[in-house]
Amino acid sequence: MSFTLLSSPLQGFTEFRFRNAVHKYFGGIDTFYAPYIRFNNKPEISSKYQRDLQLENNHVPDLIPQVMTNSADEFITAVKYIRSLGYKELNWNLGCPYPMVTKKGMGSGLICEPSKIDKILDRVHAETDVIVSMKMRMGYLEPTEILDTFPILEKYPIKSIAIHARIGKQLYKGGVDLESFQRCLDTSKTKLYYNGGDITTVAGFRKMQEQFPTIDHWMLGRGLIADPFLPSMIKADTEVYPENRWEIFREFHDTIYQEYDAFLQGPTPIKMKMQGFWEYWSQTFPNPQKAFKAIKKANNPRAYNQAVNDNLKTVNR
C-alpha cells in the first residue's frame, strides 16, 4: 500500500530553515506541519509565526500551519491570517503535553472538554471555509479521553486526526500505547494518522506498518530530527545509508548553522539553537554522549566548528 510521510511540528526545531534544508538535502517528506501559532493573550499573529509561514520563506512541497488555542476568536484570527497567505488547511493542536500549556486548558489539556471543542469547531465552521485537521494525544490523564471527542469531531468535516499514542501526563516518557491507538482506529469514523516520535528506524517503521496496515499517513517527529535520512530511506525501503552520508549531513548542518547565525544575534543564541539540534543528531554517532558533550563544551564559534569536525572524524575514518 502506498503511504504518505509527514513531518510533525516541534517548537524550536521544525521552523522553515530546518524544513527547507531537510527537503533540499534528504527529501522523503510529502507534507510538513509548521510549529503552532500561539497568541499569549494578544489578538495578533506575532512576527515569529509570520516569518515561519511566509510563502517566500518556504521551499517545500506542502506546508500546513497549526494553531494551539482554546478560544474560537483566536482560532478564527489564525484562520483569517493563514487564508490571506493562501493556505487552505489549519491543523489544531490538542497534543502538546507541557504543563505550562495544559494547565491553561490547551493542547492535550483540552481533550477532556468535548463540549468546549464542539463550541469552537461550530464557530470555526460557521464563520470560515478553512479545512480543519487535528493533532491529538489520547488524553491528558487517561487514554480513553479521546474516545469521548470522536462523536463531537464526527459532526464536522474534519480532514484527519494525527494521534500521538501517549497521554499528556507522560510527556515523552514511557512507551506508546498501541492497544489504545488500535481502539481509536476501531472507534473513529474520521481518518486517522499515526504520529510517532517512536519511529526512529526503517525496521521500526516496517513493524508499525505490519501492526496497522490500514494507516497510510505516518507522521515522523523526533526520529526525523535525529536522523533526517530516515524519510527517504523509508520511502526506498532500505536500511543502507548513501556512501556520502556524512558529507551530506555536513552540508545540511552548515546550511542550518549559517542561516541561523545570520538571523540570531550574538554567540549565545546560535550556540543554544545548535545545541538543541545536536541533542538529537548526536544519537546517530558512535558515542552519542561524547559527541553531545563536545558540542556543549564549545563556548565560541571556533570551538563549536572544531567540535563538529571532531565529531565527524569519528564517522569518517
Amino acid, single-letter form, for residue 95: G
164 annotated binding-site participant: yes
Cα atoms in the 13 Å half-sphere on the side-chain side of 316: 13
Rg over alpha carbons for the chain, rounded to the nearest Å, is: 20
Measured in whole angstroms, the distance separating CA 229 from the mean position of its chain's CA atoms is: 16
DSSP 203: H
DSSP 238: -
Measured in whole angstroms, the distance separating CA 209 from the mean position of its chain's CA atoms is: 20
- Residue 316 has what pLDDT? 79
135 annotated binding-site participant: yes
Q: Any catalytic annotation for residue 96?
A: yes
Residues near 268 by beta carbon (within 8 Å), at least 6 away in sequence: none
Contact between 139 and 111 (Cβ < 8 Å): yes
- Residue 317 has what pLDDT? 61
- Residue 113 has what pLDDT? 98
221 annotated binding-site participant: yes
Contact between 168 and 137 (Cβ < 8 Å): yes
- Residue 80 has what pLDDT? 98
66 annotated binding-site participant: yes
**From 21, 22, 34, 96, active-site residue:** 96
CATH topology of domain 4-236: TIM Barrel (3.20.20)
Contact between 74 and 67 (Cβ < 8 Å): yes
CA angle 209, 213, 219 (to 5 degrees): 55
Residues near 18 by beta carbon (within 8 Å), at least 6 away in sequence: 225, 256
Mind listing the pLDDT tens digit of every residue in the chain (317 residues)?
A: 799 999 999 999 999 999 999 999 999 999 999 999 999 888 889 999 999 999 999 999 999 999 999 999 999 999 999 999 999 999 999 999 999 999 999 999 999 999 999 999 999 999 999 999 999 999 999 999 999 999 999 999 999 999 999 999 998 888 999 999 999 999 999 999 999 878 999 999 999 999 999 999 999 999 999 999 999 999 999 999 999 999 999 999 999 999 999 999 888 999 999 999 999 999 999 999 999 999 999 999 999 999 999 999 999 76
Structural domain boundaries in the chain: 4-236, 245-313
Helix segments in the chain, DSSP class H: 16-25, 47-53, 72-84, 99-102, 114-127, 145-153, 178-187, 202-211, 222-226, 230-236, 245-263, 267-281, 288-297, 301-313
Contact between 14 and 35 (Cβ < 8 Å): yes
- Of residues 76, 189, 175, 88, the one with CA closest to residue 122: 76
CA–CA distance, 165 with 156 (Å, rounded to integer): 23
- Residue 173 has what pLDDT? 87
pTM: 0.96
